[in-house]
């Protein structure tokens, strides 16, 4: 046998007197008798959403969303001012282009307000789609080094967009006040439409992020998809431009219902596109459930493929 | 009464190469790229049917079974690609196994990388919260430990500065400080000490020894066999995804070092064609021996270390000077030793034949840590380097905590590349208070 190897470790009293870092008050790790048992088995059967586990990770969800918000404006000189500037510039452009030059009908309200009311949920959706669609790829360092429910990443990206939405919403309120527009009782349904916008954004984000993890082509597709989807949504125009018999078909785009819903809830007009909204919300729900199932099925492989 | 904290039964993890690659380190990534290139080359030359290379599959782990008692500290050793990192990834649920099962009792935290979740745009303080949350700490817990974390990291003045302005050393210190304050019941640690300066590494080792003594179960992956023997009473040796040896760490480390899996305490060049050398002299072997003459690469600081060079002189008439070059883990050139003084061979021309030259490094000389030995044979007038094998052998110096070495009973970090045991004298030259 070789030289005796010293495997003696200093005992605790020794360490303490020598001033080796040891947190005060961190005595024995308290292992309760009923310590949680974690079972790791090969993937099989149906993917399930572990709500209890998700709840225990709520703080991490908050920190991830907080990081996304913080980082986005950290290096910008104008910082949070961008949140206000972006919608104002877009609305100004649209008002000149469509409102003045093309004279698009705006249902009796000033065109700027007409566009802004629909642009608001659209921007929330577009940010959600892009940020959450890229969330797994951007965070691949995390995915391969630490465990947490992967769904936190796309969800955090969607939630981070709410800050921008909140600020832009205040701008809209100022605009409504300026033009003296009073919402009808339908405004009570606004949270529902907000939820639909978030849900649709999350649905798209879940599908796209899971696909993006495996097929990087998705990240090149995202800008086109967003642009295409924007023009397929009645934001710069009213869905009443579409012949009545086709209007419900427009609802196959879940964002059409959200855009029209926002206008209806905020601008105090009569409801002309009820079926469209219903189709949209239904479809959005289906898309979300499908996205969730797909994401959970792929979740266990992300660390291997991303 | 002891309870099982980790039970691993028949664990296997299967990867398809070319399609999904377990990149653990840059080195893994590069070899994997090389392998893929080679495969596509073979494919192009028609040696392999198209499509075959992309379906190449490997078992990163196979039939791995062991269990760890609660409170045990177990080291996992093995060369690159042996499956160490994959094992930790499966245990920490980052990736699912292909077969087998694992049961872990207690809250698990894993530390597979220093600085997981750090964002360079955020300040030190913000990163402490973000990284802490990602590693599984509650916000309240971070609030409570904040001062301690900042003090451990030694970055208090820069806590509100974005970490992108930190030096890499500061980033590592801050990242490790967060990780060092985790209080899990089961801790899984990958080779995270490979970064940072030597002083901070020692501080982290001390902190981890500390963790191991709080009744926590620790699984510790490392290439550093000295750290394994020091931190872990028990070790598991993996090779090609399978458990080769499981037992007391000094025995397992011994098996690892004696096999051709580890760093080498002895190296031989049996084939004259590939051996370092020229037409004058050829290297046959270099060996590291402990005080008892056994080949060993883990050597107690309190005993002499013998480095032996065996070589074959082919052409007569040269005055040969064997010399050895010692470099530590941080790449510091510790010293060079050349045989100018042996009274028998000094200035004497060599006859053909086989020679063994041995240099003895005195006890209490090299500081603890890894040492890489280069072996060379030179002759002068004209100056000729007949052979120089830069990484001939390697060994670890292990410091003793038994009080009779230079560090005495001090368990903290001791800087320096040498650690001599000096004679000290102290005299009382005047009694009483200041005059």
- In chain B, residues with a C-beta closer than 8 Å to the C-beta of A20 are 206-207, 209-210, 411-412
Helix (H) or strand (E) holding A291: helix A274-299
Question: What is the mean predicted confidence (pLDDT) over B177-181?
Answer: 85
Residue B67 in contact with partner chain A when CB distance is under 8 A = no
**In terms of DSSP bridges, do strands B234-239 and B321-328 run parallel, antiparallel, or are they unpaired?**
unpaired
* CB contact B183 to A (< 8 Å): yes
Residues of A in contact with B22 (CB under 8 A): 304
Residues of B in Cβ contact (< 8 Å) with A28: 214-215
pLDDT at A294: 92
Inter-chain CB proximity A42 and B398 less than 8 Å? no
B308 to chain A nearest CA, in Å? 16
User: Best of A18, A23, A33 to disrupt the B interface by mutation (most B CBs within 10 Å)?
Assistant: A23
Residue B127: pLDDT band (50, 70, 90) is very high
Spell out which residues of chain A touch residue B105, defining contact as CB-CB under 8 Å: 35-38
- For residue B70, what is the nearest residue in chain A, using CA coordinates? A31
Structure tokens at B78: 């093995």
Mean pLDDT of A261-282: 84
Q: Which sign, positive or negative, has the C-alpha torsion A265, A268, A273, A274?
A: positive
Q: Which residues of B232-246 are buried (b: 16+ CB within 10 A; e: fewer)?
A: bebbbbbbbbbbbbe
**A240 to chain B, minimum CA–CA distance in Å?**
47
Angle at B28 between CA B135 and CA B194, to 5 degrees: 50
Cα distance between residue A209 and residue A136, in whole Å:
6
Contacts of A42 in chain B (CB under 8 A): 96-100
Does residue B237 carry a pLDDT above 90? yes
The per-residue pLDDT for A147 is 92
- Contact across the interface for B409 and A15, Cβ inside 8 Å: no
Of B109-118, B154-163, B195-204, the poorest mean pLDDT is in: B195-204
B residues 287-306 closer than 8 Å to A (CB): 290-292, 294-296, 298-300, 303
What CA–CA distance (Å, rounded) separates A228 from A216? 20
- Inform me whether the pLDDT recorded for B194 exceeds 60: no
CB B246 within 8 A of CB B87: no
CB proximity under 8 Å: A 101-130 to B: none
Averaged pLDDT for residues B357-377: 92
Q: Hey, is the C-beta of B94 within 8 angstroms of any chain A C-beta?
A: yes
The phi, psi pair for A207, rounded to 5°, reads -60, -50
Question: B123 at the A interface (CB within 8 A)?
Answer: no
Q: Which residues 4-33 on chain A approach chain B with CB closer than 8 angstroms?
A: 4-12, 14-15, 18-23, 26-29, 31
- For chains A and B, CB pairs below 8 A equal 193
Residue A76 CA from chain centroid, whole number: 22
Note the pLDDT of residue A15.
Answer: 33
Query: What does the block give as tokens for B187?
Result: 């801790």
Residues within 8 A of B (CB atoms), A 62-101 only: 63, 66-67, 70-71, 74-75
- pLDDT tier for residue B114 given thresholds of 50, 70 and 90: confident
* The pLDDT of residue A46: 62
- Counting every residue written for chain B, the total comes to 435
SS3 A78: coil
**Are A15 and B229 a contacting pair at CB < 8 A?**
no
**Virtual CA dihedral for A126, A129, A131, A134, nearest 10 degrees?**
-140
Q: What is the per-residue pLDDT for B32?
A: 54
**Listed range (A161-170, B13-22, B131-140, B287-296) with the worst mean pLDDT:** B13-22
A83: which 2 tokens? 């949140």
pLDDT at position A9 over 70 = no
Distance CA(B337)–CA(B392), nearest Å, equals 15
Q: Is A217 on the interface with B (CB under 8 A)?
A: no
Cross-chain CB nearest to A142 (options B100, B134, B400): B134
Q: Answer whether residue A60 shows pLDDT above 70.
A: yes
Instruction: Tell me the pLDDT of chain A averaged across its residues.
Output: 82
**Nearest neighbour of B95 by CB, restricted to A37, A142, A304:** A304
CB A114 within 8 A of CB A98: no
Nearest-by-CA chain A residue for B210: A22
Under DSSP, is residue B323 helix (H, G, I), strand (E, B) or coil?
strand
E strands, A113-195, in order: none
What is the structure's pLDDT at B197?
57
A294's tokens = 């797909």
Residue B250 confidence (pLDDT): 82
Mean pLDDT of B64-81: 87
**Measured between beta carbons, which residues in chain A are less than 8 angstroms from residue B292?**
1-3
DSSP annotation string for B128-193: HHHHHHHTT--HHHHHHHHHHHHHHHT-GGGTTSBGGGS-HHHHHHHHHHHHHT---SEEEE-S-T
B164 interfacial to chain A (CB closer than 8 Å): no
Cα of A157 to nearest chain B Cα, Å: 15
Using DSSP, state whether A148 is helix, strand or coil.
coil
Q: pLDDT tier at A90 (50, 70, 90 boundaries)?
A: confident
Q: Answer yes or no: do B101 and A40 touch at CB < 8 A.
A: yes
Q: Is pLDDT of B100 > 90? A: yes
Residues in A touching B124 (Cβ below 8 Å) = none
Interchain proximity A9–B207, CB inside 8 Å: no
Which pLDDT score is estimated for B253?
79
Yes or no, beta carbons of A7 and B214 under 8 Å apart: no
pTM for this model (two decimals): 0.69
- B414 contacts chain A (CB < 8 A): no
**pLDDT tens per residue across span B241-287:** 999 999 998 888 777 766 655 557 888 888 888 899 999 999 999 99
Q: Which of A21, A74, A301 sits opposite B203 (nearest CB)?
A: A21
Better-scored residue on pLDDT, B339 or A16: B339
Query: What burial class does residue B322 get, using C-beta atoms within 10 Å of its C-beta: 0-12 exposed, 13-18 middle, 19+ buried?
Result: buried
Do B131 and B150 meet the contact criterion of CB atoms below 8 Å apart? no
The mean-pLDDT minimum among A154-158, B175-179, B358-362 falls in: B175-179
**Predicted local distance difference test score (pLDDT) of residue A220:** 87
Average pLDDT, chain B: 82
What's the confidence (pLDDT) of residue B53?
41
In the numeric block, the tokens 């004279």 are attached to: A103
Residues of B with Cβ-Cβ distance to A35 under 8 angstroms: 105-107, 185
pLDDT at residue B112 tops 60: yes
What are B328's strand-pairing partners?
Answer: B371
Highest mean pLDDT among A99-108, A176-185, B315-324: B315-324
Q: B133, A59: Cβ pair inside 8 Å? A: yes
pLDDT in tens, A204-250: 999 999 999 888 888 888 999 999 999 899 988 888 888 877 777 78
Cβ contacts of B298 on chain A, cutoff 8 Å: 2-3, 5
User: How would residue B18 be classed by pLDDT, with cut points 50, 70 and 90?
Assistant: low
**Cα A50 from Cα A263, distance rounded (Å):** 37
pLDDT of A124 reads 94
User: How many CB atoms are located within 10 Å of the residue B402 CB?
Assistant: 13
B305: left (phi over 0), alpha (psi -120 to 50) or beta: beta
Least confident of B261-265, B293-297, B342-346: B261-265
A141/B148 Cβ within 8 A: no
For the cut 80, the answer to whether the pLDDT of residue B223 exceeds it is: no
Which residues of B fall within a CB distance of 8 Å from A15?
206, 209-210, 213, 411
Three-state DSSP state, B101: strand
The model's confidence at residue A276, banded by pLDDT at 50, 70 and 90, is confident
Contact A18 B100 (CB under 8 A): no
Q: In the prediction, which pLDDT does B327 show?
A: 85
* Least confident interval from A149-153, B126-130, B167-171, B206-210: B206-210
pLDDT category at B409 given cuts 50, 70, 90 is: confident
CB contact under 8 A, B101 and A28: no
Note the pLDDT of residue B212: 61
Residue B152 has pLDDT above 80, yes or no: yes
Does the pLDDT value for residue B199 go beyond 70? no
B134 and A305 within 8 Å at the Cβ level: the answer is no
CA atoms within 13 A on the CB side of A170: 8
Identify the residue among B91, B106, B291 best suited for mutation to test binding to A, counting A beta carbons within 10 A and taking the highest.
Answer: B106
Distances (CA, A) of A270 to A107, A187, A260: 10, 12, 11
Q: Is B59 on the interface with A (CB under 8 A)?
A: no
- Residues A164-173 have pLDDT tens digits of 899 889 989 9
């Amino acid at each position: 046998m070789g030289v005796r190897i010293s495997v003696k470790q200093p005992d605790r009293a020794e360490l303490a007197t020598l001033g080796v870092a040891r947190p005060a008050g961190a005595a024995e790790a308290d292992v309760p008798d009923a310590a949680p048992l974690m079972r790791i088995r090969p993937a099989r059967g149906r993917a399930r959403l572990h709500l209890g586990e998700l709840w225990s990770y709520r703080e991490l969800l908050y920190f991830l969303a907080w990081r996304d918000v913080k980082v986005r404006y950290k290096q910008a000189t104008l910082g949070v001012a961008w949140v206000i500037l972006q919608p104002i510039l877009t609305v100004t452009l649209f008002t000149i282009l469509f409102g003045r030059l093309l004279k698009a009908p705006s249902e009796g309200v000033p065109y700027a307000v007409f566009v802004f009311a629909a642009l608001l949920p659209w921007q929330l959706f577009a940010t959600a789609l892009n940020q959450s669609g890229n969330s797994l790829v951007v965070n691949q360092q995390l995915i391969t080094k630490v465990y947490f429910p992967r769904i936190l990443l796309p969800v955090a990206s969607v939630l981070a967009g709410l800050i921008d939405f909140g600020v832009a919403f205040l701008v809209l309120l100022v605009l409504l006040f300026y033009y003296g527009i009073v919402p009808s009782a339908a405004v009570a349904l606004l949270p529902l439409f907000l939820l639909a916008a978030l849900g649709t954004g999350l649905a798209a984000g879940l599908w796209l992020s899971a696909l993006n993890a495996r097929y990087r082509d998705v990240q090149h597709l995202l800008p086109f998809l967003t642009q295409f989807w924007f023009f397929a949504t009645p934001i710069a125009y009213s869905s009443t431009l579409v012949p009545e018999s086709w209007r419900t078909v427009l609802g196959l785009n879940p964002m059409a219902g959200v855009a029209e819903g926002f206008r209806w809830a905020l601008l105090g007009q009569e409801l002309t596109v009820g079926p469209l909204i219903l189709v949209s919300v239904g479809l959005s729900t289906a898309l979300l459930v499908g996205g969730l199932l797909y994401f959970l099925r792929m979740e266990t492989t992300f660390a291997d493929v991303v | 009464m002891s309870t099982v904290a980790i039970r691993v039964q028949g664990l296997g993890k299967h990867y398809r190469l070319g399609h999904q690659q377990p990149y653990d380190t840059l080195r893994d990534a590069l070899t994997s790229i090389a392998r893929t290139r080679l495969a596509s080359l073979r494919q192009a030359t028609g040696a392999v049917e198209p499509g075959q290379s992309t379906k190449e599959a490997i078992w990163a782990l196979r039939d791995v079974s062991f269990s760890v008692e609660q409170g045990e500290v177990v080291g996992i050793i093995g060369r690159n690609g042996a499956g160490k990192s994959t094992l930790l990834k499966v245990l920490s649920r980052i990736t699912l196994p292909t077969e087998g099962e694992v049961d872990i009792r207690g809250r698990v935290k894993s530390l597979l990388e220093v600085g997981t979740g750090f964002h360079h745009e955020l300040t030190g303080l913000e990163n402490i919260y973000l990284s802490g949350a990602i590693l599984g700490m509650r916000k309240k817990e971070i609030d409570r430990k904040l001062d301690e974390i900042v003090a451990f990291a030694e970055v208090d003045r820069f806590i509100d500065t974005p970490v992108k302005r930190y030096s890499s050393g500061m980033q590592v210190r801050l990242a490790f400080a967060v990780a060092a304050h985790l209080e899990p019941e089961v801790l899984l640690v990958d080779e995270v000490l490979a970064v940072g300066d030597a002083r901070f590494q020692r501080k982290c080792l001390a902190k981890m020894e500390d963790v191991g003594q709080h009744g926590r179960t620790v699984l510790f992956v490392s290439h550093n066999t000295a750290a394994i023997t020091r931190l872990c009473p028990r070790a598991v040796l993996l090779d090609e995804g399978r458990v080769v040896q499981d037992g007391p760490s000094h025995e397992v480390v011994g098996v690892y070092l004696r096999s051709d899996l580890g760093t080498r305490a002895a190296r031989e060049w049996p084939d004259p064609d590939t051996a370092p050398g020229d037409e004058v002299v050829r290297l046959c072997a270099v060996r590291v021996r402990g005080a008892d003459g056994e080949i060993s690469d883990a050597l107690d600081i309190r005993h002499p270390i013998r480095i032996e060079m065996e070589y074959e002189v082919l052409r007569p008439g040269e005055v040969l000077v064997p010399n050895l070059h010692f470099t530590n883990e941080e790449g510091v050139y510790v010293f060079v030793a050349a045989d100018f003084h042996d009274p028998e061979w000094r200035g004497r021309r060599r006859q053909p034949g086989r020679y063994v030259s041995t240099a003895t490094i005195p006890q209490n000389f090299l500081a603890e840590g890894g040492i890489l030995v280069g072996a060379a044979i030179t002759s002068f007038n004209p100056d000729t380097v007949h052979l120089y094998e830069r990484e001939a052998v390697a060994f670890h110096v292990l410091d003793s905590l038994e009080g009779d070495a230079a560090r005495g009973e001090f368990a903290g970090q001791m800087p320096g590349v040498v650690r001599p045991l000096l004679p000290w004298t102290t005299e009382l030259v005047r009694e009483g208070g200041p005059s």
